[in-house]
Structure 1
Amino acid sequence: MADTTPGLLASRNPRLYYTGLVVSQIGTNTYLVALGWFTYQLSHDALVLGVVTAAPIFTMLLFSQVGGVAADRFSPRRVLLCTHSLLALLALPLGLLAYSGSLAVWHLVVSALCVGSINAIGLPTEQVFVSEMAGDALLRRAVTLNNVILNLSLVVGSSLAGPLLGAVGLGGVVLLNGLSYLTMLTALLLVRPAQLHARPRRVGGRPRAVGAWGYVRHSPGLTLLLLVIGTVGLFGTSLPSLLLLLTASELTEQAGAYGILLAVISVGSLIGGWLTWRTNVVLGTVLVNSLLLGILELATAAMPSLLTLGIVLLPVGVVSLVLRAGLLSLAQLQTLPEFRGRVMAIFQLVYRAGWFLGTLAASWAAQTWGPRAAIALGGAAVTLVVAAIVLVMTASRAMSVSLITRRVPLVSIALAPEPEGRHRRPPRHMAADA
């Protein structure tokens, strides 16, 4: 059936938002790469580098539920204006300290904690704003474009970090990152609120995080997606760092091997973005791509050369993009609009907690048994756990195999807006079409 939905970028608001997002994300990724290099040069201590890297993750885990409540209680556009203003202001003193030569490690730690706290509110709010900007009909494409931009900006930012550090120093990179936030602020100010797909506001009572946990618990569809994203976060997100260890230990004679492999994954993600853009993502898409990710990681561990690694990592990029876009779009479409901010905050919390713990476990496994064994263990865990989740939910009749590809209207599984913390159990099926 031909897709007659108007194009996402045919509207003014999405064009403005994604233009600001491209510039902002390139600036952020350039800064993060430069910050890691500078931190290690300043301290010559891997532990200090780990603390600076982990600090924003810690505060994001700590305040993620606050971010979800803010996204549901206030206008997402206004919340994003506040968060991006704070991020821009935070870059100013850090850049000046770097220029003056008085930047210390504790400045970096405090800055990382502040950035994590702000992003804890900004990330779930961004997901909700994307749904208001695109509407449910174009949500899948909007989430896909978001993920493609994030992947490409990582590659561009990483390639710019070295030359910019040499040209303007860390202070210049920090201030340029602050200017990139101003681009997003300008885009948000120019967005026309009247053209947004505003969500219905809850009557009576304030949004509470505990209500969203009950909402997810009583929705088999959201529970399944949450289990999958937790599994992928725990066992499937450490592959880039393990590839770095693998290339350092076995491919040191091949210059730029790690960069080549990351570029291959990025090309794969572009292909995955095109596929997701052109086709409907359903529950079966998420489950199949979860299993494929595990199998491809197992294959990655067995590849003997840079060429064979690249051949396997290309579909890894495809599968990873399709999986992320599918999880985020399906999770939003299966959630009542007034709960979306808090539900997305729960998904972010579970994913990032899994990523944090999984990276630590993978690093230990790589040190103990080597990076190939760690990659293989992660791939086996993803494959087995996802398969077990599907079998258990099917056996308990929480999910039917026949419903994996069924096109079910969203409203048929939506929970009624009852008082927070008290929900009636939804029908045992899922809205599968994103």
Structure 2
Amino acid sequence: MASTANALSPSLSAANSSISKPKTLHDFYLRFKNPNAISLRSKRVGLPVLRLSGITSPRVSASSAQLMHQSVGEASSRAPTIVEVDLGNRSYPIYIGSGLLDQPELLQRHVHGKRVLVVTNNTVGPLYLDKVVDALTRGNPNVSVESVILPDGEKYKNMETLMKVFDKAIELRLDRRCTFVALGGGVIGDMCGFAAAAFLRGVNFIQIPTTVMAQVDSSVGGKTGINHTLGKNLIGAFYQPQCVLIDTDTLNTLPDRELASGLAEVIKYGLIRDAKFFEWQEKNMPKLMARDPSAMAYAIKRSCENKAEVVSLDEKEGGLRATLNLGHTFGHAIETGFGYGQWLHGEAVAAGTVMAVDMSYRLGWIDDSIVKRIHNILQQAKLPTTPPETMTVEMFKSVMAVDKKVADGLLRLILLKGPLGNCVFSGDYDGKALDDTLHAFCKS
């Protein structure tokens, strides 16, 4: 799998690329000009191996952005930090800052038409729905806003609940000029986005994430969908929002468990592609757990920058974007096998990350110092490092067999390889290492 392909060796930049045709459809070799970027190699037998190391894209920029060496304690202004997601005519801004829901012009510039449907749940709605309605309508009397309030929880991320959004939209006779607004965490964002993608074959929508998990990950990149009883997020679409508005003040009402869950995704970015960010997290995890506003704002901004860079290069998960799923194959198996909502998504991903790291170590791809650092930071974040005791080897295997990253019957995994901040997406691994990892973490 890691053999040198003999087809071609072009170079390209993230902004301006030209690739000559390979000699065959099966042989290709793609390398970025940046020596610390991507190499994507394949041979005629098997599946591609994607290696990722510290990719940076000149297409992604953040205004008002703090540099890594600056003090995180510096006061932030009311002007939002803006991270741009560059996707051509589907590009959009991510606004990050305190009090952004009190700046109606940010939302109103992205509303298409005169009718808005806010999709929220019975936890977030009582807290922020009125504020969002005011932000959408203040000084803008021509816009009318309706809402649909869904039950809260991962177990409701299904077709039955999704139909409530369609029912409301059809009842209101909304047309293709309407705008859907997702107000809530990742479940609401995924369902609202999928509803927007499907209603009348596509209407505009806006993300207003209110959890750390949604702010640093799920609201950015256009992945939308619902769960199936046999697997998580198996039904959905890639559908980009008009904007993402992250008002960090909404985290003031977030339960501690939800806060920790979101930090699992923050940690992930450091592990797969941003070693300096991981080192910053090791020093600042106590501040994040204490909800220090400046530290949290920086963690959200840097996470969004990492996500935006990857999405800009690989919108529909052709290879590179899959690396954002470190720990998710194991984690999704936990969520499905243990029961949706029993563990939060980030809790399952944390345990799944430890399992992926264990497998990487068994393969000889990382040293034990990385294993120890990952255990330590997850424990600091009060996240689980083992799956539930009820999970069995067979449960893991049966759910992982229908994972979205299975291709031609072979399960591809995101594993760490080399120094911190490097990973591979590959089906080219010794299956015994996977079996040994599963048996090490399961009683049966």
TM-score, normalised to structure 1, is: 0.28
Greater RCO, CA 8 A, separation 6+: 1
Structure ranking higher in strand proportion: 2
Structure ranking higher in helix proportion: 1
